[in-house]
Every structure is written in C-alpha cells, then in structure tokens.
Structure 1
C-alpha cells in the first residue's frame, strides 16, 4: 500500500529507475500505439428511458396498492366501488386545481421552469373581441383545442378573413375525429375509462351530428381532395353514420378520387351495419377489398382487424369460421402480421358460447408464447381478458390459463391488460378457474398474491371460492374469508351470509386436524359478528335482513363455540321478533340450544325453546324428552312443561 502511494507521487520517467534502485525488478510497459477512438452512434432516448431502466430492476410489490392510490392504510381502497371512487376523486382534485388555475390566472403568470412548461401556465382565453389570425387557428388545431379552434374559426369567418384550404382541412380532420364535441383531456384516464365502460353497456347507435360544422367545412373545400373525402368518411364511420359514409366512398370511387387504406378500413368496420345476413356482409367486405386492390392500396393491420371484426358479427358459425380461415393466409402472404387484437377477434369467432368447442387458443399461444408486444390496435387490450374467459368458460383448462398469465407477465405485456375494468374481468376468470381446478393450499397462495391490491373478488366469485373450499373440506379458511368479506363490503349480500353459515354448520370440525382445532370458537365469532352487522344494517335500512334460517345457524354456531350467553340473546331476538322474521330456525338448531341449556343448567331457556317450537308447529317431542331427562324440574317448570306437551307425554 505504501509502495503504491509512492509510485503515484513519482514522475512517470523515474518509475523504472526508482524501482530498480529499490531492488525490485519491475519495468513499465511499452507505450501502446495510438488506437483510433470510435465514437458510437447516438441512441435516441426518451425523457423516461432512465426511469424505465430503474423501474425494470424492481419487481411488482403485491403487498402495496396501485400507485394511483395514496399509500395510507385509511386511503387504500378495499372494494371495487372504493377503487373507482378513490381514483375518480383524485382526478376530481386535479380538475379542481385546474379550475383554480384558470379562474385565478393572475396568480400563475410566473414561469419558474426553464424551459417554460406550457401546461403549468394558464391557457389563452378567446372571446368575441379577441384579435385572431390564421396563426392562432393553426396553433389551436396543433394543440387539439377543439372548442377554441371552432371559436377562432367562427371569428375569422365573421370578420371575413381568408382561411387557406389547408387550414380548413386540418380543422375538418379535428372536428370529424371528435364529432365536434370537446374531448376529455388525456390526463383524466379514470374518467375516460369509466365513460367508455358506460358507453359499452349502452346500445350502439348513430351519434354523428348531421349538418354540423364538419359537413359545412367539407362543402367549403373546393375542389374536393382525397383528404377531405377521407376525413368525412372516417368521421361518419366512427360515429356510425354508416349509410352516408358508404355513399361518400362510392362517390369518391365514381369520381376516380384515390382514397387511402385507412379510409377503406373504417368502412369495412361498419359493414355489419350496412348488411343484415352473414353472406351479404362477407360479399360486401370482399368487394371493398377488391376495390382496394384495383386502386393499388396495400392492406395493413387495420385492414386485417377490420375484416376480422366484420367476420365476428356473422351469426352463422360455419360461414364465420370459413371466412376467417380464408382471410388469414392471404394477409400473411401480404406480410401483414396479426396483433393481439387480431387474436382477440379469432377467439370471439371460434370460441362462441353456443358453438362447438374450439382449441384455437392453443395454436395462438404456441405462436405468441414468450413474445413481447406493443400496442398496435385499439382492440389489443381486449385479448388477455377474452383469452382468460375462453380458458375458464369455454375450455375450463387451468394449464392454458397459466400460459396466458405467463404471457401477460412477459416483458411489458402487462401494459396491454387494458383498463381497470378489463383487468378485473381477467382476474375474475383466473381466480374462478383456479379455485375450481387447484388444491385449496395452492389456490390460497394465488389468492394471497392477488387479493386485495390487484383484484377484489366480486360476491359471485367469493361464492365460488366458498363452494370450492366446502368441496375440498378446507373449512378452516372460512373465518378468514369472512374477514375479507367484511373488508370488501359483502356483508349486505344475504345469499353469501347464508352460504357462510351453512358451510360452518354442516361441516363440523375434524378432531384429527390441528388446523380446525380453533374452528368452533372462530365460527362463534363469525356468527356473532354477522348478527351484529345485520342488526346494524337493519337500523340503516339496508337490503339485508334476518331470516329464520340465518338466525338458527347463528344460534347453532354460538352454542358450538361455547358462547352460551350470546346464544341466549340471539334466541331472545328470535322469540321476540318471530312474527316479523320470515321462516323459522331448524329443529336441529333448537335441539342443540336445548342441549346447551342442559349443560349450563338453565331450564328456563330450554322451556322457552320448547314453547317457541310448539307455537311454530314443530314436532316438540324430542325437545320435551331432552328437557325432562336432562333437568330435575321444580313444580313451576314441570307445570310449564305439562302445559306445553301435555301430561300424557310425561307419563310415557
């Protein structure tokens, strides 16, 4: 160490001399020839490449909620409704901040960042008195500000300022794309997803605004250009003004106007609205493809997916399957490779609910297994949810579901899982399939991994999980699942409550199983918790209410768990409200309560149970026998017993 420090201090020319004088036989290496320095080509990097590289070194934390939620125990959503509410609330806060920025713009005129960030500055406000020109309009169109662009266009028209055809064409494209409706800003992701899901549930129909600004702009552009035709046709097709879009396409063909591939794609997508039968749709689809061929237009991925979308609407399975098998090889010869959206259409074509069983997903997974995909088509985000649905409902195949899940977690494929609604559908089918096909221990490992931060089971899935646990005899998991149901706000589902109680009542603990040693006490806690929650729900006028069967099962579990005092409170509730409670507890529940009363030496409670049985037309002989044999009754209790079952019974 000392020698190395001394070497650094010596001049380079004296190193060899110093080493030789010290007795060490070291020499410096001969100077290498000057090698040419090769400067590598610059690699274009995006602003987030460094962050993505860092993020790739960290695996997903399954114990933490999604980053869009606050990492605070009180602000982590524990139900699907809370997930949506919290996410929308966060965006609502952004909207409030944006509103304040616009309303009090004088407070935000400073620019701290260099270069300046336009989003942080208040937006320009245009009024009827604003001084505008073509440059203002061009800037607004480039920024996608539809409302202000239309206002500036109207101002220029009113003042008689000339507007170039190119600028009108740009405005026409913007208006047609949005149907002259102000779009939701891109940063409001949750709101856009929520609205899309609502629109998906609604019946699709024409929303194109006839005679609006788009058609006015189109009429002003003279002579008509291929771009003007394309803009209006695509806009009408997107908003389902199908007949006029197809008529414009035919008009362009008659006038020898050369349209582009994407315009034909938009019309192929609406063929199902133009024709009724499968044969007519397929014929029109082929006619449009032939017209593209005559115009020397090369099909692209959008063409393939538009054709498959058209085929997926065929009601005749045989025609749809034959058409799909005919189209795919032709597109492959043209060098058009399918995307995940193409495979999505193949799944809905071949794997129909009422059609024959198809294993096309096996071939698809063999073809794309281990590959990483990027978004190429809007329907790409539908593949994973649909594939998992096919694995569960069409084939009921766990191994295929595992392959789909492995593909989802390959590279950045998880970005294509879609919005939170599709992600929920994916994991709903995945968990439901696993609970039906795996052992309870293996399933609970997957359950712990996914629930609750990635997926929260709906009541229907929770019922399937409970059914699988009952079939496998793993009743020890029921108290834990009840805790999850409380957290997930499933306690107002009467069918779920009855199912939990029935499992615990019908499946007595196995004395040889250490895992079920504490089950009676845990069952009693579940029953008491359920009783208190339903009582609270009744006070709040919620949907759930007591039934005779529910209270009988609660009574049984409390007795088995050694909570006799609580059991007497529950029975008092049953007796007091018997005229308002639909149904009655089972006779077995009353027998177990009487047996517990015998053990606790409480003849009064046993006689109350007997009286309830007599009033509700039960066969009370078994109860009377147990009371008579289990107690040494005094005169008062004996006379009560005689009044209920008669002296003849006691003389037997």
Structure 2
C-alpha cells in the first residue's frame, strides 16, 4: 500500500499540470508572459512541496498488542481460580496444601518438558508459535566444537559447563595458547557464580561425589523454600577460580571483582576483604560491584554494631576517594547491612536514605523494605514504626514500580505485617491501593509471599472492619487471589460473632469444606460452639441443624477415617439437632456417646427429657434415664424423679425408673 504522502504529492502535481495546460490553451495566443511565469511558479511549488512533505514511517505494532488490548477490556473474576491454575479445572487446587503440591507439579512438569526438548531438539525443528518465544525453543546443551580453541572455551562458558570450561582452559594453557582477558573474565565469572561446580540443571542430574568438592549448607527449619534453594554451597579452599587467578600474568579489577563477588555470595566474607586488600596493594581501583558486595559482607566480619558501621563508613569513603559512583544497589546494601546494626541502624538509615536522594538515585521498594525492617527490629515503639510506614506510603503513593532489586518483593508483606501488628486499618488500605497501581502486583513475590500478604490483610479486616466489608473483601480475594488458612477462617468466624451474623455460619462451613479445612478440629469445634451457644429463630435453627449433619460426616466412626469425636463436638451437634427438630438424628447421636465412650452433659440430657415430654414419648424418657445411669451421672436421680412425675408409665417402666432413682441417690 502506498504511503499517504505520495497520493498528496501526485494530486498537487496533476493539479499544477492541469492549470498550466488550460492556461496555455486559452491564453497562449496572448503573449503576456503569464505562461512562463505560471510554469516557473508550478516548478517552484513542486520543489517546495517535495522539500516540506514528510512521509510518515509505517507504524509497527508489537505482536502482543492485540492480546494486551483484549486483556484491558476485562477485569479479574473473583470467583475463579488464579489464572496460573486454569489449565485443568479438575486438578485446580482448593487448599493451600493442594496449591503447594500443584505448583511443585507444574515446576516438575516444566523441568521434564525442558529436559526432553533440550535432549531431543531434532523433534522440535519447526516453530509455529506466534509470537515466537525463544525461551520455549530447544537450547543447545551439548558443545559442538571439540577442538582445543578459545572459541570452544567460549562455547562451554555460554553453555554454563563449568567443569568442561575449566578443562578446556587448562588444555589451552598446556598447548601454549594464550587466552584473551575478556574470555578469562567470563570464565572467572562462571566459576565464581556457581562455586566451582556445574549448575544443577534439569538436563544434568547431580552425580555421585559432587558433594565432595563443596560443602552443603544446612537447611533452615520452619520455612518452605524453592527447589533451587535446597542446595547451598560454600566457598572451598584453593578452588579453580583461585588457581586460575593465581596463574594470570596480569590481574585487573574485573578479575578481582569476580573472586570477591563469588566469595561474598558463597560465605567467604573474611577472604573477600583479604582479596580486596591485595587488590589495593597492587594499586588497582575497585568497581561499584566490589564495594556493594563488601558492604553486604561487613556485618559478617565485625562483632559490635559500631564496628560494623565504621567498616561500612570506611568503605564508602574509599569509594569516594577512588571516584566510584554509587548506584541503587550500593545504598540498598548499606540499608540491608544496617538491619544488623541494632539501634544504631535507626539513625543511620534515615541519613542513608537522604544521601541516596541527594545523589539523584530514586529508592526502590527494597530500600523502603530495609528501612521498615531497621525501625521495626530496633526495639522502637509501635507508634513510631507506624509513623515511619506512613511517611513511606506518603512518598510512594500512586507510584508504579518495576523490579530493580531481588528484595523488592518483600516490601508489601513487610508493610502489611506492620499494619496488622499495629492494628492500623487505614494504613493497610493505603498499602493495598499501592499494590493495585499499575503492575505493582508483580512485586508481591512468589506464592509464599502473596499468601503472607493477603493473609495479614484479611486478618486485619476481620479484626477492625465491619462484617459487611469483610464479606465483600472475602468474595473479592477468595479463591482468585488468596487461599485462607484455618487461622484466617477462624478469624472470619470471630468477625461473624462480633457483628451478630451467625446466620451465615452454614454458608461459611461450605467454604471451609471446599478449602479443605474440615479436617481441622479446632476450626470445626469453633464453628459448632458458635452455632450451639445461643437460641435463634426456628428458620436459623433448621439451617444450623442441616449444617450440623454435614459437619457430622467429617467425624469418623469405628474403623473409618475422619476426625476423632470430642465430647464438645458430640454435645454441640446433638443440641443443634434437637433445636432443629431432628429428633431421630439426635437420638442416634446420643447412642454415639455410648459407642465412643464419651459422657454427655447433664444439660443435654435435660434437653432430651424436655423433648420427650413434648413429644409424649415415655419409653424414650426411660431409655434416657437408663443411659444416664450407665454413665453414673449425678443427675440420674433428678431425671428419674422428673420422669416419674411427668410421664404416664407402665408398671414395668415405673419399676425400672424407681430402681434407677434409688440407685442414683447419694448414700448417707
């Protein structure tokens, strides 16, 4: 398709040519000099037009533009599962444990698919995907260059083959082939990043003896960690990185930077400072990455808070002397180190943040997260911690952030935790509003961090907000964004009790079952206690009775799985069935007391006797007295006297009750 500017140019040219021809036809016999003048004007007009017209370039749309436009027309469906889990509706998780298992299964499936694709690229030679996604295409995982050359070394470095790259480097040295400094830098970076071992890739299972070359750090308890964090390796003595470094005839800042960063990453903090001193002795200046890592390592090489801050200050002074400009990670490293400086960090953190702004570096969410952690952990009062968070929220209000630091994803959960512990509902709304700005929701982190954030937010709503607002948020968050824990559901039950909305308990019980918390005895007993505590309207009691029958199904009988019956659960369910006019099911529950060796309360037996009197069932009343006598309850004589007085008994029934009455009376 021709550009619009061409059509305009052709139109002007044809118009000028038409005027010239007609002018010559009608006025050519009169030589007033106008014809030549008109020709000259037309030529000048064409020339001027050609000089001023700008043909616009073709507009290029991204291949995702249509999808983005369609996505902008719809909003999140609060009744649906998270979009990551909609591959199979039958397998979609309904509980936190199922979500964890589902996520691990997805990760395992991706690893298996990637392993097959990368090891069988010949079956995936055609790409029909639109748009093209390079990361989903087969990767080259096997070296193609077998000869001993620097190109082969570069290939192994790009494939992250640590052991193969080191072997190739040694072969080049033995052959007398010099390796360029740039390739050497890349090799040192690779070795130091992976701690002198091949990365645990999906296509490379861990082999026996791999643990011998490195020390595996112990796993911390009490926290669910990703598969990539299960193995942590520490810096070993005289590894290949140090050996190659010592073989270099000339060492520049980049070489020292690779080793220092690797030592800090893998726990050799004192050795990193020793390497930095050696670099200064060789009259070399450090780069910003070296200083950032040394600042992060400062709290690990000094004991007292003042010594730690003095070391950080000294590094910053050396940074200024060597004319190394700090970046965002420099100040974030300082703020993160101040978290380990006790009360001293509270004063220095604000000064660091002001200095950060003075040099024109905008703080990231990680900066504010470190600031909040410094004040919260330094023993300050709750009010002061809240004021710091209020100042932070005033500064970042309405700002859309992008991830610049790995710790950016910790800000929202930290801020919401402070709001919960300080019971600051208004501030929690500000935090949540910031999370909804732009794509800040991406800063919530992984599923573990998201669960913490929404869990603390929902708990605060249950404590501080009206029940109607709590239910509105409940419908918006569950299950599309948040799977409530048993503790969260218990908070919702308490919120219903506070605002006298116990009529909603049967509905909440359905959600408890769908979320998989029906195996939590404390939560189930809390629900039964709230339903059985007070008398309600007949309609409400009927719904409670139906709910009690459903709750009964989660408890196990003899030889069956389920929750173990407790005396309170038996009593509450039985009482609810009686109030809901489900007398037959209530008598079955009373027999369950006997089979489970549980003792019913005296109040429950009196309620049964009242129902027997109402229904005119003398035989049931006699059985009730017999059951009370079987449990040796003190109220047996009282029940027997009431039965003899209120019921028309046969001679046989009267004899039985009279005998139980005399047996139940206390002896003098």
Q: Deviations over 1:511-531 (max 9, x none)?
A: 4xxxxx632122222222222
Q: Output aligned runs, 1:419-430, within 5 Å.
A: 419-430=446-457
CA contact (8 A) 1:381 1:418 kept: yes
Describe how 1:384-533 pairs up with structure 2 within 5 A.
384-393=412-421, 395-509=422-536, 511=537, 518-533=539-554
> TM-score by structure 2 length?
0.81
Distance in 2 between the 1:410 and 1:68 partners? Answer: 21
Q: Give the corresponding residue for 1:326.
A: 351
Question: Structure 2 CA distance, aligned partners of 1:648 and 1:111?
Answer: 87
CA distance in 2, matches of 1:337, 1:537: 66
Find the residue that maps to 1:535 and give its secondary structure.
Answer: coil
- Equivalent of 2:103, from 87, 90, 93? 87
Instruction: Name structure 2 gaps, 5 residues minimum.
Output: 1-13, 16-44, 204-220
**Does the residue aligned with 1:310 lie in a helix, a strand or coil?**
helix
CA contact (8 A) 1:205 1:240 kept: no
Q: Secondary structure at the match of 1:351?
A: helix
Which of the residues 262, 276, 282 maps onto 1:255? 282
Please name the residue that 2:137 is paired with. Answer: 120
Cα distance, 1:347 vs structure 2: 1.0
- Pick aligned residue for 2:596 from 553, 561, 577: 577
Please, which of 336, 351, 355 is the counterpart of residue 380 of structure 2?
A: 355
1:287 aligns with 2:314: yes
User: Deviation at 1:263?
Assistant: 1.3
Within 1, Cα distance between the matches of 2:229 and 2:632?
50
Counterpart of 1:587 (choices 589, 598, 602) is 602
Matched, 1:611 2:631: no
| 1:172 alignment partner in structure 2 | 188
CA contact (8 A) 2:157 2:165 kept: no
Check conservation: 1:70, 1:76, Cα contact below 8 A.
yes
CA distance in 2, matches of 1:438, 1:116: 46
Show the counterpart of 2:335.
308
Secondary structure class of the residue paired with 1:211? coil
Query: Are the equivalent residues in 2 in contact too, given 1:221–1:228 (CA < 8 A)?
Result: no
Distance in 2 between residues matched to 1:123 and 1:202, nearest whole Å: 25
Cα deviation for residue 367 of structure 1 reads 0.8
Could you give the per-residue CA deviations for residues 513-570 of structure 1, whole angstroms, max 9, x where no partner exists?
xxxx632122222222222211169723x6x311111111111111111221111111
Of residues 272, 277, 291, the one that matches 1:245 is: 272
Please give the root-mean-square deviation of Cα atoms over the aligned residues, in Å. 3.5
Q: Distance in 2 between matches of 1:536 and 1:133?
A: 74
The answer to whether the 8 Å contact 1:568/1:605 transfers is no
d(CA) in 2 for partners of 1:213, 1:295:
30
Instruction: Return the alpha-carbon distance in structure 1 between the equivalents of residues 277 and 558 of structure 2.
Output: 63
Shift of 1:65: 1.8
Look at both structures and tell me which one has the larger radius of gyration over its CA atoms.
Answer: 2
Alpha-carbon distance between aligned partners in 1 of 2:168 and 2:399, rounded to the nearest angstrom? 53
Choose 158-167 or 58-67, whichever is displaced more. Answer: 158-167
State the Cα distance separating 1:221 from its structure 2 match.
Answer: 2.8
Q: Pick from 362, 366, 369: which aligns with 1:337?
A: 362
Alpha carbons of structure 1 residues 474 and 117: separation in structure 2 relative to 1, 3 Å: closer
Structure 1's 60 and 631: CA in aligned 2 closer, same or farther, altered over 3 A? same
What's the offset of the Cα at 1:277? 1.8
Q: Distance in 1 between matches of 2:428 and 2:339?
A: 23
1:150 aligns with 163
Superposition deviation, residue 378 in structure 1: 1.1
CA distance in structure 2 between the aligned counterparts of 1:297 and 1:264, rounded to whole angstroms: 9
Question: Deviation string for 1:159-199 (max 9, x for gaps)?
Answer: 74533332121021122223245556799xxxxxx999427
CA distance in 2, matches of 1:186, 1:51: 32
Alignment CA distance shift 1:184-1:264 (3 Å): same
State the match for 1:557 in structure 2: 576
Query: In 2 relative to 1, CA 119–131 (structure 1 residues): closer, same or farther, beyond 3 Å?
Result: farther
Scaled by the length of structure 1, what TM-score is found?
0.83
Aligned pair count reads 597
Q: Is the 8 A contact 1:64 1:71 kept in 2?
A: no
SS of residue in 2 equivalent to 1:198: coil
- 2-side partners of 1:251 and 1:42: how far apart? 57
d(CA) in 2 for partners of 1:134, 1:587: 90
Which stretch of the first structure deviates more once superposed, 38-47 or 290-299?
A: 38-47
